[in-house]
A and B are shown apart, each in its own frame.
Chain A
Amino acid sequence: KQEVTQIPAALSVPEGENLVLNCSFTDSAIYNLQWFRQDPGKGLTSLLLIQSSQREQTSGRLNASLDKSSGRSTLYIAASQPGDSATYLCAVEDYGNNRLAFGKGNQVVVIP
Chain B
Amino acid sequence: DAGVTQSPTHLIKTRGQHVTLRCSPISGHKSVSWYQQVLGQGPQFIFQYYEKEERGRGNFPDRFSARQFPNYSSELNVNALLLGDSALYLCASSSPTSGTYYEQYFGPGTRLTVT
Interface residues of A (CB under 8 A from B): 4, 31-32, 34, 36, 41-46, 49, 51, 89, 91, 93, 97-105
Q: Does B33 reach chain A (CB closer than 8 Å)?
A: yes
Question: Is B106's CB under 8 angstroms from A97's CB?
Answer: no
Kindly state the separation between the CA atoms of A49 and B6 in the bound complex, as whole angstroms: 23
User: Which chain A residues border B73 with CB–CB below 8 Å?
Assistant: none
Using known A-B contacts A98-B56, A105-B42, determine if residue A42 contacts B101 with beta carbons closer than 8 Å.
no
Question: Is B42's CB under 8 angstroms from A43's CB?
Answer: no
One of B35, B41, B45, B88 near A104 (C-beta < 8 A): B41
B64 CB to nearest chain A CB (Å): 15
Question: Is B107's CB under 8 angstroms from A43's CB?
Answer: yes
Question: Is A41's CB under 8 angstroms from B88's CB?
Answer: yes
Q: Which residue on chain A has the smallest CB distance to residue B57? A: A99
Question: Is B104's CB under 8 angstroms from A34's CB?
Answer: yes
B100 CB to nearest chain A CB (Å): 7
Q: Does B103 reach chain A (CB closer than 8 Å)?
A: yes
Using known A-B contacts A102-B43, A104-B40, A105-B42, determine if residue A43 contacts B108 with beta carbons closer than 8 Å.
yes
Q: A43-B108, A98-B48 are in contact. List 10 more A-B contacts (CB 8 A).
A: A32-B102, A43-B4, A43-B107, A44-B90, A98-B56, A99-B33, A99-B48, A102-B35, A104-B40, A105-B42
Q: Which residue on chain A has the smallest CB distance to residue B108? A: A43
Question: Is B108's CB under 8 angstroms from A49's CB?
Answer: no
Question: Is B56's CB under 8 angstroms from A42's CB?
Answer: no
Question: Is A49's CB under 8 angstroms from B103's CB?
Answer: yes
Q: Which residue on chain B has the smallest CB distance to residue A103? A: B42
Q: Which residue on chain B has the smallest CB distance to residue A54? A: B101
